[in-house]
Structure 1
Amino acid sequence: MKKKLILILILALGILLRTIFVNSSPPSLYGDELTITLDAYSIFKTGHDQLGNFLPLTFPMGAGRPAGYVYFTIPFVAIFGPAALGARGLSILSGIGLILLIYLALKKTFSERVGIIAAALYAVSLWDISLSRGGFEAHFALFLVILGLYLFLEAKEKPIFYLFSAISFGLTFHTYPTYKLNLLWFLPLLFIFGGAKTTLDYGKNYLFGGLIILLILGILSLSQTFVGGSETRFLNINVFSQVKLKSNIEEKINFERTINKLPNNITRFFHNKPVEYIKVIGENYLQNFSMDFLFIHGDRNPRHNMATMGELYFMEIILIPLGMLYLWNKYRKILMFLIIWLILAPISTAIVGLPHALRSSFMLPPLITLSALGLSIIIRQKTLIPLFITSIFFVIQVTFFLQKLLFLAPYEYNSFWSYPAKLGSELAIQNKDKYDYIFLSDRLDSVEFAYPVYARVDPKDIIDRNNNKINLGKYTFKKFGNVYIGNIPNQEIDNFLDNLRARVLYLGDLTDLKYLKSYETINGVDNTDSLLLTKRNL
């Protein structure tokens, strides 16, 4: 009873840390959250995405977004509407679910004490708190993989769980591109180390049934690569498609071949694209294990690391080796499994670029496991001094983390969350009845998605406007009532607005400033200029 109460308190803490001020920190929805919200809400209301496609498995407005996160977000937008909790509810729930799954998996593998410790560490994990507070597909993918892992472990006693495990893994294929690559090595690894072969005598029918389910869902995902363009984003951002990197590599190779004194046929062996790309990917890979990424600055992207702190606690520098030592002495097979997991997890990230809190998140469960085992050693010590010191360090770091996450980052990094688009949309909504024309410049990042969300435009109207843009003068716009969203070249804004001979409000990016004869700037949440507006013919 006491341990159940402790688990309930841990879950309550995890919920609090993932939901407190979530409507204001982050301060607005960024581009991916906006398109996910629009697609989920549109499917809920019409059965079609925002472009009018019926129940698609890939979403074009998300640059080939897999369907998983969108469809599982539908219940949240149905309850909360197209709003922050609608977009982030699934990710919040994934974080809470991961706390429980880590507890269950480690309780089954080691002991209830280790499970409780791991759940507590996951509840206060800097990495997972940050992922839970944004509408991140990768976080849901992580939840599905760990759910599949836990069900796989349960299937050793109840083979029917192989079917549910396969469903969970199969859905992961439809959630986040790099996790598709992760599953290609993780599933064989799990089969080898998870003891599935021991159940073949009495559970092989369920195991084969699970393999069929996994194969069907995998083939369906693969088909979307060719039919729906589900890998568009991955193909556009991997290291081989980065134009600047390619140019730099070619310049480096040409320079080195020119000055090298070896014969050309030998020089080409040492200085070529494969060698240079291996270096790039190798450097990207090793950065995932760097002190800077894990313990000091994280991935330096305020969107999925708002506190811009390390992904792990400083004390885990000690806890992780202690956990490895514990496994070396008692569970070497499990240690080998976790080490291989950690070694392989960053590969898909390295192909795309430097460490990334979303793509590298598959490293988190084994790291938490090792930390929990290390902390369990400290807790078992006869003296309380090591535990007291460890607790003090945890409390200090989480305090600094929370003050930055909740009271600084929403203001300092508001532009990373498309806040100017939210501000412009709200001004347009407030002033609709005062003007004949309101123009929202699409130079405001993601404003074409922000306005329909914040204005709660009917999904049928959104579908119509996305497919039937209108021309006004020389320019094309999405028209929602008297609100026009589109692009007017900077140097043409004044003439265009003057020629309308009506009451006009223009809301644009600060880059328009030097081209306008009169304007006002509007402050954002950080009390600095966020956007500008200009009025005509009042």
Structure 2
Amino acid sequence: MKPRLLLSSIVIVGFLLRVLFINSSPPALYGDELTITLDVYSIVKTGHDQLGNFLPLTFHMSAGRPAGYVYGSIPLVAIFGPTAIGVRALSILSGIGIITLLYLLGRKLFSEKIGLLAAVIGAVSPWEISLSRGGFETHFALFLALLGTYLFVLARQKPLLYIFSALSFGLTLHTYLTYKVAILLFLPLLLWYQNGFKELVGKDKKYFLAGTIVFVILVGLSFSQTFLAGSENRFFNINIFSQSSIKDTIEQKINFERQITKLPQPLARFFYNKPVEYTKVFIENYSQNFSIDFLVLHGDRNPRHNMATVGEIYFVELVLIFIGLATFWYRQRRTIIFLVFWLLLAPIPTAIVDTPHALRSAFMLPSLIFLSAAGLVTVLNYRNKLLPMLVLLFFIIQFTFFIQKLYFLAPKEYSNFWSYPAKLASEMAANNKDRYDWVILSDRIDNIEFAYPTYAKIDPDIIISQNKKRTLLNSSEFKKFDNVYIGYIPESQIENFINLLEGSVLYVGSAEDGRFLNNPELIDGLDDLKALVLEKKNP
């Protein structure tokens, strides 16, 4: 079969795995997806984000967000509306693009056969599929980074592509926070792989320098948004140097060790200090990205990032990686060194923030896939066909367990991780608002203030006005959408608040609110646990 026909078949299978049941698995939109949807829909309709800012480069709702995924989603939300497929379409397309780029780059790094095998592994990768099925900014960033890498390698033959490679890498920095560090670490490695700066500048000076200028401009713009516009406030709040729990633990440990040591105090300060302790935290976080637990057994423990809660790669891939390293070390040493250092550099930004994380560590994935493909081609070329059959058998077993959990168990078991109660409450409010004078949605329902405007497809102008100025009701502030009010009521005052309203009332709160209501009606979620409570008052 011709390579293009094979690639087309691989892409079709990959597309089906990513789009199948996309509106029900995951079962709802989680917080970041909701805020992205509202921002994109608002820009499509008004040219302003949901806070009223005109075409911003940083979106400030939800602790700051770079602009890449929002602007990339504009045509898709314009087509599909503020829906699950609308906000996830860019991630799905990124997955298809990544499968294609794995083939193209694998062909350049190794051979046609390894390129096709890399595409196959990418198409069925648990890590890749999970990234494709959520509206994850990191997935679009991974596509842009891989595109930039391929264009840079290809630019040896077509120098004009240096400019487009620089543009792709630059846009990556405007899409997801960890790539601001990862790409700056990766580019010197890529430059080395392409035989260095002097040779590139000597041969293709004008295009290379033009690309450098484009990249520097985009880097400067990105970091200006980081430090001046707050695009990475979330990063500044959660990195290991900012987390109060880590700070307190380190300070207590240092003080205790300095107090009990027999060393003179000037010497004790040399051994027991913050740089030493933070280095230990960093190394521990970093090394966990390569642990069996993260890569093979459980993966990211957050079911939102790892939807089937399985290892990020198949166990058989781990074996193939070592086979690939051993086989190609003597055949293509430079390429193997390039891929190994790519793998080693990728989790550095993650280690600064926290322990292994499928979103922040996603830049590891291409190098793992290429090394797996190198090992797989070695196995397939083995004379004894028993080994390839065993590899295929182990793969089919793991793939079957992964797929059944992804499609049929995870959507119910982990529905709360996707803010399903907020979707359920929003649908109840939208379906019943004409039957009641007042519909009150408690903000103790996680992400309800973003969920209701999204699922009800509220006019962005109304959303902007309510984000700028809340509506007072019984001396409390609410977001008001027609007769639907979203806000906070102290638990002990809920019943009194409802009684003060004239006319019929539907109150929808978190299941915990039921303790403070006279006639609570509990509603189950997809996991058969109590998700919401209703209180109805008729005039």
Q: What is the rounded CA distance, in whole Å, between the counterparts of 2:86 and 2:271 in structure 1? A: 53
Paired letter, 1:316: E
Q: What is the rounded CA distance, in whole Å, between the counterparts of 2:331 and 2:354 in structure 1? A: 37
Paired letter, 2:149: L
TM, length-normalised to structure 1: 0.98
Question: Quick check: 1:218 aligned with 2:219?
Answer: yes
Q: What is the rounded CA distance, in whole Å, between the counterparts of 1:120 and 1:7 in structure 2? A: 9
Query: What residue is the counterpart of 1:115 in the other structure?
Result: 115
Query: What residue is the counterpart of 2:168 in the other structure?
Result: 168
Question: Quick check: 1:316 aligned with 2:317?
Answer: yes
Query: What residue is the counterpart of 2:448 in the other structure?
Result: 447
| 1:525 shift after superposition | 1.2
Paired letter, 2:498: L
| 1:109 shift after superposition | 2.3
Query: What residue is the counterpart of 2:13 in the other structure?
Result: 13
Residue 434 of structure 2: SS of its match in structure 1? helix
Q: What is the rounded CA distance, in whole Å, between the counterparts of 1:216 and 1:452 in structure 2? A: 37
Report if aligned partners of 1:425, 1:447 keep a CA contact under 8 Å in 2: yes
Q: How does 1:409-448 map to 2 (within 5 A)?
A: 409-448=410-449
Paired letter, 1:482: N
| 1:205 shift after superposition | 0.3
Question: Quick check: 1:489 aligned with 2:528?
Answer: no
Query: What residue is the counterpart of 2:407 in the other structure?
Result: 406
Report if aligned partners of 1:41, 1:78 keep a CA contact under 8 Å in 2: yes
Q: Which runs of 5+ in 1 are unaligned?
A: none
Question: Quick check: 1:300 aligned with 2:332?
Answer: no
Query: What residue is the counterpart of 1:239 in the other structure?
Result: 240
Q: How does 1:30-429 map to 2 (within 5 A)?
A: 30-195=30-195, 197=197, 198-429=199-430
Paired letter, 1:502: G
| 1:141 shift after superposition | 0.5
Deviations 1:120-153 (A, max 9, x none): 0110011000000000001111100000000011
Residue 152 of structure 2: SS of its match in structure 1? helix
Q: What is the rounded CA distance, in whole Å, between the counterparts of 1:431 and 1:314 in structure 2? A: 49
Q: What is the rounded CA distance, in whole Å, between the counterparts of 2:327 and 2:67 in structure 1? A: 41
Residue 532 of structure 1: SS of its match in structure 2? strand
C-alpha RMSD of matched pairs (Å):
1.2
Q: What is the rounded CA distance, in whole Å, between the counterparts of 1:7 and 1:403 in structure 2? A: 25
Residue 330 of structure 1: SS of its match in structure 2? coil
Q: What is the rounded CA distance, in whole Å, between the counterparts of 1:365 and 1:286 in structure 2? A: 19
Paired letter, 2:48: H
Question: Quick check: 1:3 aligned with 2:37?
Answer: no
Moved over 6 A (4+): none
Paired letter, 1:99: I
Question: Quick check: 1:504 aligned with 2:501?
Answer: no
Paired letter, 1:164: F
Q: What is the rounded CA distance, in whole Å, between the counterparts of 2:220 and 2:419 in structure 1? A: 36
Q: What is the rounded CA distance, in whole Å, between the counterparts of 1:260 and 1:157 in structure 2? A: 63
Deviations 1:172-229 (A, max 9, x none): 1100111000011111111111236434334110000000100111111111123311
Query: What residue is the counterpart of 1:23 in the other structure?
Result: 23
| 1:272 shift after superposition | 2.1
Q: What is the rounded CA distance, in whole Å, between the counterparts of 1:363 and 1:387 in structure 2? A: 26
Paired letter, 1:371: S
Report if aligned partners of 2:37, 2:87 keep a CA contact under 8 Å in 1: yes
Q: What is the rounded CA distance, in whole Å, between the counterparts of 1:148 and 1:375 in structure 2? A: 26
Residue 204 of structure 2: SS of its match in structure 1? helix
Residue 438 of structure 1: SS of its match in structure 2? strand
Paired letter, 2:181: L
| 1:501 shift after superposition | 2.7
Report if aligned partners of 1:522, 1:529 keep a CA contact under 8 Å in 2: yes
Number of residue pairs the alignment of both structures matches: 538
Report if aligned partners of 1:166, 1:214 keep a CA contact under 8 Å in 2: yes
Paired letter, 1:363: M
Paired letter, 1:331: Q
Report if aligned partners of 2:95, 2:143 keep a CA contact under 8 Å in 1: yes
Q: What is the rounded CA distance, in whole Å, between the counterparts of 1:3 and 1:154 in structure 2? A: 19
Q: What is the rounded CA distance, in whole Å, between the counterparts of 2:74 and 2:189 in structure 1? A: 33
Deviations 1:7-65 (A, max 9, x none): 11111110011111011000000000000011011101110000110000000003110
Deviations 1:392-427 (A, max 9, x none): 111100100011111111111111001110000000
Q: What is the rounded CA distance, in whole Å, between the counterparts of 1:31 and 1:468 in structure 2? A: 21
Report if aligned partners of 1:36, 1:62 keep a CA contact under 8 Å in 2: no
Q: What is the rounded CA distance, in whole Å, between the counterparts of 2:269 and 2:355 in structure 1? A: 27
Q: Which moved more, 1:521-530 or 1:356-365?
A: 521-530
Paired letter, 2:29: L
Deviations 1:376-403 (A, max 9, x none): 0011112221111100111100100011
| 1:262 shift after superposition | 3.0
| 1:76 shift after superposition | 1.0
Q: What is the rounded CA distance, in whole Å, between the counterparts of 1:238 and 1:124 in structure 2? A: 32
Report if aligned partners of 1:151, 1:165 keep a CA contact under 8 Å in 2: yes
Paired letter, 1:500: L
Report if aligned partners of 1:292, 1:310 keep a CA contact under 8 Å in 2: yes
Residue 381 of structure 1: SS of its match in structure 2? coil
| 1:448 shift after superposition | 0.4
Q: Which runs of 5+ in 2 are unaligned?
A: none
Identical aligned residues as a percent: 59
Deviations 1:335-394 (A, max 9, x none): 111111111111100000000000111111111000000000011112221111100111
Q: What is the rounded CA distance, in whole Å, between the counterparts of 2:50 and 2:437 in structure 1? A: 26
Residue 21 of structure 1: SS of its match in structure 2? coil
Q: What is the rounded CA distance, in whole Å, between the counterparts of 1:134 and 1:291 in structure 2? A: 25
Deviations 1:264-317 (A, max 9, x none): 333332222222111111100000010000000001110010111100111112
Report if aligned partners of 2:201, 2:209 keep a CA contact under 8 Å in 1: no
Deviations 1:218-248 (A, max 9, x none): 1111111233111211101101111122122
Report if aligned partners of 2:109, 2:335 keep a CA contact under 8 Å in 1: no
Residue 461 of structure 1: SS of its match in structure 2? helix
Q: What is the rounded CA distance, in whole Å, between the counterparts of 1:403 and 1:516 in structure 2? A: 40
